[in-house]
Amino acid sequence: MNPAWVQNRSPISHHLTPSQLCAKNSWAPLMTHTRAALCKALSSMTISSGKRSLQEQVVAPGSRSTATAASQMDSSETKLGATVASRVPQIVIGNPEELERKKRAIKAAGLSSLQVIADFDMTLTKYMVNGTRGQSTHALLNQGNAEYDLKRQQLFDHYYPLETCPTIPVEQKTKLMEEWWGKTHNLLVEGGLTFKAIQTSVANAVIGFRSGVVELLEILEAKSVPVLIFSAGLADIIEEVMRQKLHRSFKNIRVVSNRMDFDGDGNLLGFKGKLIHVLNKNEHSLEMAAPLHDDHGHEVVNNAKNGYSLVRDRRNVILLGDHIGDLGMSDGVDYDNRITIGFLNENINSWLSTYTTAFDIVVLNDGAMTSVLDLIQELSR
């Protein structure tokens, strides 16, 4: 996910607003999906309620259930801050036969061959919390300095449209993201961020985990399946969210994210290691992987394996993400089989076709982790 951060125009776009820069690079036409096109796409997909096992959830393509799916999705989409009572969790499987092939292969290899790669914001955490748009681990941060909070917001207002612009070439966008993250990190240091401010920010945040996340992490820990949480955010905030909201740690989890360096009094001195942003958070960054820390700041695993050794020889992957770009988290993995699960939280009509092409399983409407739990249990039998 992106940082809710920062100030100053990029030298690359010095004379252009974000919208002008995006328009300047509009060499790729944008696609829109009409209701008719959506219904046609749905007729060839498997749609299910997400409340039973994947096998039990199948609805035959072309059935009445698929014909009404578009209207159900329309009614489930809500404006920011509106009630989400009508959000009915569903999953969509674009290619059931290919998914079954992958499951058979992973099951035959055993869980000792498996690793789980997960995004954090809006993947493990919820998109809506009690009817309010949930905060990302970046957006929740209040560093206790109004001037610097404003500067970070100004940076967000400038760079976020560039991050989401579909027509800026990757090489140019990578430079823009490096600028954004670098400026943001500098502002956090200059503004005097403290670890106490992180604890307070998390305590006051609108953030929560999807139903079933704790059960999923407990099962994976019990079965010794490593979990790599990749984030372009801040590892220290991710850990604090897990401590305050889950009230426990997991020995099999490694966080691959930007990690802060504090002095003995909890004042931010700088950042450790390489900079991780939305376009490079993948297994090429595993030297940044670190175990979770307990309430006293100690690693929960003594003499812990680093990221590379933890997943070495684990050639099957389950990948969880809420963004098409999250599929790149497995870059650097020489895998045999990969099952991808995408969480499509908003703009379902516009993105459903894209997500069902990109991901093996798509969870709609801010749904629970039920389908992932079912998958792990099926692979365990």
Catalytic annotation on 121?
Answer: yes
Query: Which structure tokens are listed for 237?
Result: 């905030």
Please identify which of the residues 74, 121, 263, 265 carries the catalytic annotation: 121
CA dist., res. 281 & res. 256, Å (int) = 8
Q: Where are the beta strands (DSSP E) in the chain?
A: 46-48, 90-93, 114-119, 128-129, 132-133, 227-234, 253-262, 268-272, 290-291, 316-321, 337-344, 361-364
- Nearest partner of 300 among 235, 252, 229, judged by Cα: 252
| Rg of the chain, C-alpha, whole Å | 21
CA-based end-to-end distance of the chain? 34
Q: How far apart are CA 379 and CA 107, in angstroms?
A: 5
Do the beta carbons of residue 79 and residue 128 sit within 8 Å? no
Question: Distance between CA 339 and CA 336 in Å, rounded?
Answer: 10
Element (H, E) at 25: none
Helix 348-358 to helix 35-42 angle (10° resolution) is: 30
- Pairing type for strands 361-364 and 227-234 reads unpaired
| Half-sphere exposure in the Cβ direction for 42 (13 Å, CA) | 29
Three-class secondary structure of residue 346 per DSSP? coil
Contact 93, 59 (CB under 8 A): no
Does residue 119 carry a catalytic annotation?
A: yes
Q: Characterize the bridge pairing of strands 290-291 and 268-272.
A: unpaired
The angle formed by the CA atoms of residues 47, 349 and 43, to the nearest 5 degrees, is 40
**Cβ neighbours for 31, distance < 8 A, ≥ 6 positions apart:** none
Catalytic residue among 119, 322, 366, 374: 119
Q: Which residue has the tokens 């961020």?
A: 193
Q: Just list the catalytic residues.
A: 119, 121
